[in-house]
Each structure stands twice: as structure tokens, then as C-alpha cells.
């Protein structure tokens, strides 16, 4: 597999799935543009990728700020001349029963998990439309498919993103825009507390690379792949 020359922007790239995806895609020849709040970690990751012969750039991104997402896209275009794929990976999980009435936690998940994806679309879609091509990849979750106690609001935000991606796909059926939703279960990341039985982040990174390589839209749930409806 090679992604040589495909420019990929990734949010939440300072750890977990985002970090693994940056390393993996860079190893396949994709220039990667990394965004996250922890700029120091991004700098170290860029240095590591470049030392291995890859191409990378980074900028501090808080996905709750639309301007930060526009900067991420601008860095991609200014540094590498275009943007081919936008990976919306940033997310948080404030888990607990609804009876806890964690209104602040609920708001934070809506702001990051849902509005953060919308801000990414607002930043990248104009570039994709000018180019005549582009690909949105979003990391959703099996939490939105199998609802369990303590995850109601988290699952709600992930289901909202899944719906959003399907609506975006239906509005662009001319082949110029592609969408992919990836729904892993527990992944060994800081978000899940490095769950011992979780999926290795590199497995999700490989699924993202696979989706980018495919000629058609795909939906990836539990890391199994099936075509989405066309037209």
C-alpha cells in the first residue's frame, strides 16, 4: 500500500489513534499535517517523522475553535500545495450516568466530538470543492451502535457525527467528495485509560489507510469493512 503524495490533515494527533495514524500514513508516503492542543508533543512527532524520511507539519489546534481548524487546513495548502484527506479524530469522553447531571461534561463532549467535526468540515470543504476532490474520514465509535450505561451522551455525540457524515455523503454524490466513518471499540489510548483488552491504535491507523486507498466510500465498524450505499 502506498499513499505517496496524498496530503492528510489529522486532528487529535498528539496521542492515541491520531498519533498512530500520523506515523503510519507518513510511513506510506503521505505528507501529514498534525493538529492538537499539545503543541510540544506535535513538535516531537514531526521531528520523528522527518527523521524517518517522511514529511510532516503541525499547528496547535483546539477543535472547539473554528479558526484553529482553518489554520490547520491553511498549513496543509501552504506547505504541500493541497489537502486530500481530513481525518477528524479529536474526541473526549466524560462518562457517567445521566443522573449525575454532569452538564459541563455533556457540553464539552458536544463541543469537541460534534462541533469539532463541523468546524473541520467548514474549514476543509471549500478547499475540497475548489480542487474537485477530497475525503473526510471521521473516527466515530461502536458506542454509537451499542448503547450501554454511562455512555448515553458520548454515544449521542458519536451517533450525531455518523448522521452528519451520511448527510454530507448524500449531498455530494458526483464523486468529488468521499466520506468514511470508522467505528472502533475500546482502543488502548489515553481516552480509554489504555484499556488492556482494547484494540491497538495502529490497527485503527491501518483501517484509516485502507479506507483512503479505496475507490469508493466505506464504513468501518469493529474494523470490518463494508461499502456504503451509493447515490
CA distance linking residue 230 with residue 219, whole number of Å: 12
- Based on the number of CB atoms within 10 Å of its own CB, is 158 exposed (0-12), middle (13-18) or buried (19 or more)? buried
Residue 194 has which C-alpha cell? 489504555
Residue 67 has which C-alpha cell? 479558526
Is the Cα torsion angle 25, 172, 229, 141 positive or negative in sign? positive
Phi, psi of 208 (to 5 degrees): -65, -45
Active site residues: 154
Amino acid at each position: 500500500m502506498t499513499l505517496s503524495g496524498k496530503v492528510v490533515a489529522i486532528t487529535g494527533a498528539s496521542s492515541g489513534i491520531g498519533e498512530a495514524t500520523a506515523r503510519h500514513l507518513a510511513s506510506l508516503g503521505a505528507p501529514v499535517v498534525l493538529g492538537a492542543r499539545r503543541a510540544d508533543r506535535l513538535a516531537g512527532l514531526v521531528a520523528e517523522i522527518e527523521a524517518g524520511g517522511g514529511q510532516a507539519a503541525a499547528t496547535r489546534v483546539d477543535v472547539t475553535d473554528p479558526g484553529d481548524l482553518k489554520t490547520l487546513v491553511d498549513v496543509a495548502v501552504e506547505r504541500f500545495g493541497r489537502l486530500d484527506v481530513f481525518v477528524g479524530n479529536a474526541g473526549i469522553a466524560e462518562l457517567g450516568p445521566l443522573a449525575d447531571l454532569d452538564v459541563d461534561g455533556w457540553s464539552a463532549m458536544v463541543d469537541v466530538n460534534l462541533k469539532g467535526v463541523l468546524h473541520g468540515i467548514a474549514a476543509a470543504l471549500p478547499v475540497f470543492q475548489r480542487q474537485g476532490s477530497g475525503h473526510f474520514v471521521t473516527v466515530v465509535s461502536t458506542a454509537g451502535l451499542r448503547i450501554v450505561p454511562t455512555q448515553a451522551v458520548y454515544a449521542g455525540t458519536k451517533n450525531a457525527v455518523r448522521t452528519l457524515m451520511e448527510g454530507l455523503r448524500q449531498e455530494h454524490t458526483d464523486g468529488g467528495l468521499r466520506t468514511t466513518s470508522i467505528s472502533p471499540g475500546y482502543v488502548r489510548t489515553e481516552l480509554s485509560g489504555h484499556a488492556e483488552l482494547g484494540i491497538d491504535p495502529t490497527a485503527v491507523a491501518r483501517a484509516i489507510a485502507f479506507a483512503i486507498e479505496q475507490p469508493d466510500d466505506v464504513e468501518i465498524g469493529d474494523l470490518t469493512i463494508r461499502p456504503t450505499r451509493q447515490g
